[in-house]
A and B are shown apart, each in its own frame.
Chain A
Amino acid sequence: MKFRRKKMTSPALPGALGGLLRLSRNLDGEKFPSWASKPERERTKEKILQAAQEIDSTATFIPFDTIHQVEGFAPFAEGSPADSSSSGVIVFTSNPDKRITVNGENHLELEYACNGIDLMGIWSKLDEFDTLLSERLDYAWSPRLGYLTATSANIGTALLAETLVQLPGFHLLRELNAVTTALDRLDYRVRNIDSTECPFPAALYRISNRITIGKDEETFIKNVMRVTEKLLKREWMARLRVIFNHSVFLMADYVGRALATAKSAFLVSQSECIQLLFILRFGVEMNLVKGITLEEVDEILGTAQKAESVQAQFGDGFDIPEFQLEQAYADFLNFSIQDVDIELNY
């Protein structure tokens, strides 16, 4: 079987799924959110919202207790504090990639997300946004320690530079432990974000800087980008090793099982749906799947993150309430990939 080089190398950087930059900031003279009283948190929230609206009039505050009503929050949303009316996110209709988390661990956490892993491409925008806010808010800062954060773990630049990658090549070769250990030694944080609800691991990982002080922001960002690129090149080599040193069937089996589940499941949770789609996406990257393009998978993935539209479009099949969303996701998945099949090109 001949290896079709041209098609195989078409995705720019296989496994590169997304990037995020976050700057944590706190207000001088205010207690950090977890020690502040409710009125204190409310006051902080008002200050931040006002400053954000002065810069961008499309700024809207969404408290954490209503966050599920906001579409497209799945990929980076994390645990929310107990009191949720003064904690939440400020979103901007002018730019869905930009947002501010208010009264999470810190008073405010400015975030910019991107589709690929070009973090430097969003840094200048985030930097500018932060500077504009700092002219309106009194940031807690010290010449020695930089930006003062609620825990000393991200003191200094208070920067999180994070990439989202998929490493199924290493997964199939059972080399993930070695990879995460190596990154850990190099002072990068590596976290697997596969859902336990799905029996098929998509090998989704977040890579980020663990060190936040002693170097400037650009150096930290470039280092995370560089290590992610190196990692993804090795992941690509791992995928080729699976095919040529082992067997293409090992890979086809992995994608095929996920595809069969996606096609025939009756109840699928949102996170399982997303995970199955990522495995399918990997199959498309490896030219193992026919009937769908990478752009189409990404579009389906985009829809899958919006529970409301899935529910609205597919949620009227049965009326057992506790299963309604899972049934809607199953129907959505079955429908979206009905023409997709495994094709061995090797």
Chain B
Amino acid sequence: MTSLDNFRLEVRQWLETNCPESQRQPIIKEEQIWGGRRRIFPSPDARLWFERMRDKGWTAPDWPTEYGGGGLSAAEAKVLEQEMQALGCRPPLYEIGLWMFGPALLEYGSEQQKLEHIPKIVRGEIRWSQGYSEPSAGSDLASLITRAEDMGDHFLVNGSKMWTTQADKADWIFCLVRTDPKVPKQEGISFLLIDMASEGVSTAPIELISGESEFCQTFFEDVRVPKENLVGELNAGWSIAKRLLKHERKLMSIMEMMVEKEDETVVELAKRYVGVDGTGQLRDNALRTQLTRHLMNSQAIEWTSYRLFEQHGQVIKDAGLPLIMKHISTTELQRKDELILAIMGNRGLSLKDAEYSHKEQRLVKNWAYNKAQTIAGGTSEIQLNIIAKRALDLPGH
């Protein structure tokens, strides 16, 4: 038995002992555990599960122990992930800091910044928000205009950020700010951390088509930001920004696993809503084919993501492979939602009427919400541009 096999056994035992039964049920949005100063646990079990995982550092399994992480190797972290999946364990913490900001800070932050911010992310004490997009800077992110002026002992920030997810609940926000307007646009951007409690920061929620309003526009009016909150060099924020986007896209390609786990498979749902004939075959042949297409594609995507994992540390790699994951996963996720609504027929048309079950409404809400998947984190069209350029080496203009 290899040490990895041993580790697997230990992990399995530990999870079986420590993961409460209720935390092994399929996760729905309302029961996700989010961090932050104002965190509220959805249930005592959720709290217990979170605290146990936190104490092992397994909210961030492969981050270094000196910053509170689990210190696992990539292979060990994969084992933990697989065992959690096998047992159906819910993620113990949902947090942008964990998924996107932390990995970037570990790479680019100063020792002091890491010691200050990373442990709080692992322990779910601080909730982060992302301040990239602006009303006039979306896909063309580098054209952003929110300004940070060097005032000697601090920066003075003015401007606004758009689509800042959960900014009204966040404690801190990492922002891209313009620190030099005279140079080419990518070269005058800096990466700045801002405490949401600072004077001059305010948020206004934006209601979405799913009926939720997890998004805000965040305004900065003469906000004073200490100099030590600059990550990396002045005007060198763009490469950090891009690296962080990589983490974001990676996250979005596994979103389906992270965010929703229904207690029923799409096949079961289809049988229930569409019905089957005497031989057990779905009554709607066209839907049956659509379902097959979806299942085959999503299996192919899942395996592809595993194939990518297998290639870590290998000499021979398909260099273009990481670039496709966000696009193919989010596109298929939307196809799945379209399929689910088709399956539900006229039961899949309401966001709030009490005639419709919680679950029916939730599925409709997901359908609407997931339209964001191919937009946020760089739209599908931008992903295709990147694939064409970097994987296929097609010429620019």
Answer yes or no: do A and B interact. no
